[in-house]
Amino acid sequence: MSGVARWFQSRRGAASADGPGRSGRSARRGGPDGLTAAGDPAAPLRLLRTVAAGIGTTLDEPTTCTELTRAVVRTVGGGAAVMRRTGDTVSGYESITGDPDLLPDARWATAVARDAGTPAADRWADPWLSRPAADGIRPALCAPLTSGSDQYGVLVCAREGIAFTRAEAELLALLAERAASHIRHAREYEQVNRTAGDLQRALLSEPGRPHPNLDVAIRYLPAGGRVLVGGDWCETVRLHFGRTLLVVGDVMGHGLEAAVDMNAYRSSLRYIASSELPPHRVLRQLDDIAATEADRRPATCLLVRVDPSRGQVTLASAGHLPPALITGAGRTSLLPVPVGPPLGTGFGGYESATHRIEPDQALILFTDGLVEHRGEDIDRSLHRLAALHFSPAVGVDALLESILTRLDARNAEDDVAVLAARPHPRPGPLSAEAGPEGEASW
């Protein structure tokens, strides 16, 4: 559950594998009669619906290709493979199902894959190309993976003895067309995620610089093996009198839109924080700006202003989880912080809280992906973090690595952004310029 959804909640108090297999056995026994089920004219449509339902169950191109070849072998027997095409590049045989020794010479299939995008009327009118059986040569069929004007490769299938009937060829061509449509969506999805990933990495590669009296380490881990980028971010803003504002935030959702909104929140925060307002007033202004933009996604955010010369931290939260404090002895606890509504709701009502911090203590700010497990109460998830013990006075980089490893954050179900900071006040003029003794809370 996202932090935004959690805050609102707190305010309220494909076809089975056996089906295609049976159809495939019938088709292999009876050839075209297997496809028509003893003269039943509706049988081909039922078979097509059943087999096609298992193709394109994910937005992963290799998975779609494997689903296609499995459906082909279950339907007509033999062996099947896909040759994928990207631009002018054609792969070898991939997603092989059935007997690979039955497949024709790859050079023939490659030539078909290169020409299949624009078939000539005088060469082959049907949306497939058959190779008849001959001495030592098995019958084979190539069907292009075409969606609209885009061509993504070919389906190649072959079997012993019996040539493919026209009914079988029509069915395989339709399956190839369905797979091509899902491959197109998978490539578009991959391109959007790649763009979002580039944007997120560019933004996260330029954090602000804290004062030298504060050691800071930051990690960002996208969820899963694929780059599915969310709106998680960490930030540091250098303030006057040796103070530094630490920020962690989480925009609702994933992908390019969340990354764009994250950039908007981050830019606004840098501008507002430069005016030296207390944390709760920074959140108030951020919320006012976001609430006027109808398309802006809500976001949770935690601000922690660290003042090493006074040994103080001032916190304010917009629907975000509290920070952890690790003592010099290595014990972990959660710092209480008043929780207001997420940014972008327009509700306002943010408050600040101030706590003491010693030079040997470390602050940990994080998004919910670090601790949260699906189906688990968030209090239990936070308790898992609070139960951790560490070696005394370990550096902030080593501290972060230990946390990520012990909470298995690299296998988290959501994106993870986490920041560790430890103050070390420097003697000299800075301590004498610690800033005003108090601040207005309006």
Per-residue pLDDT tens over the stretch 162-205: 889 998 999 999 999 999 999 999 999 888 877 777 776 666 65
The C-alpha atoms of residue 154 and residue 82 are separated, in whole angstroms, by 6
pLDDT of residue 45: 74
CA distances (Å), origin 247, targets 28, 105, 230, 362, 419: 64, 59, 16, 15, 9
Q: Which helix (H) or strand (E) holds 401?
A: helix 396-406
- Which segment of 14-28, 53-67, 288-302, 357-371 scores lowest on mean pLDDT? 14-28
Question: Is it the case that residue 18 has pLDDT exceeding 80?
Answer: no
Are 363 and 304 contacting, i.e. CB atoms less than 8 angstroms apart? Answer: yes
Q: 30 in the Ramachandran plot: left (φ > 0), alpha (ψ -120 to 50) or beta?
A: alpha
21 or 364, greater pLDDT: 364
Are 212 and 422 contacting, i.e. CB atoms less than 8 angstroms apart? Answer: no
The C-alpha atoms of residue 6 and residue 318 are separated, in whole angstroms, by 12
The C-alpha atoms of residue 27 and residue 15 are separated, in whole angstroms, by 18
Token pair 């944007």 in the structure block, residue: 199
Question: Is it the case that residue 29 has pLDDT exceeding 70?
Answer: no
- Which segment of 84-98, 108-122, 164-178 scores lowest on mean pLDDT? 108-122
Residues counted in the chain:
442
Say whether pTM exceeds 0.85: no
Are 327 and 339 contacting, i.e. CB atoms less than 8 angstroms apart? Answer: no
- Each residue's pLDDT tens digit, 284-341: 999 999 999 888 999 999 999 999 999 999 999 999 999 999 999 999 999 999 999 9
Here the tokens at position 204 are: 């996260």
- Which segment of 23-32, 35-44, 213-222, 337-346 scores lowest on mean pLDDT? 23-32
439 or 253, greater pLDDT: 253
C-alpha torsion 381→387→393→398, nearest 10: -40
- Which segment of 28-42, 100-114, 145-159, 196-210 scores lowest on mean pLDDT? 28-42
Nearest Cα to 78, choosing from 101, 62, 48?
Answer: 101
Stretch 254-278: mean pLDDT: 86
Question: Is it the case that residue 28 has pLDDT exceeding 50?
Answer: no
The C-alpha atoms of residue 337 and residue 318 are separated, in whole angstroms, by 10
Nearest Cα to 433, choosing from 309, 333, 248?
Answer: 309
Stretch 64-88: mean pLDDT: 93
Q: How many CB atoms lie within 10 A of CB 376?
A: 12
Average pLDDT over the chain, rounded to an integer: 82
pLDDT of residue 412: 84
- The band of 368, judged by pLDDT with boundaries at 50, 70 and 90, is very high
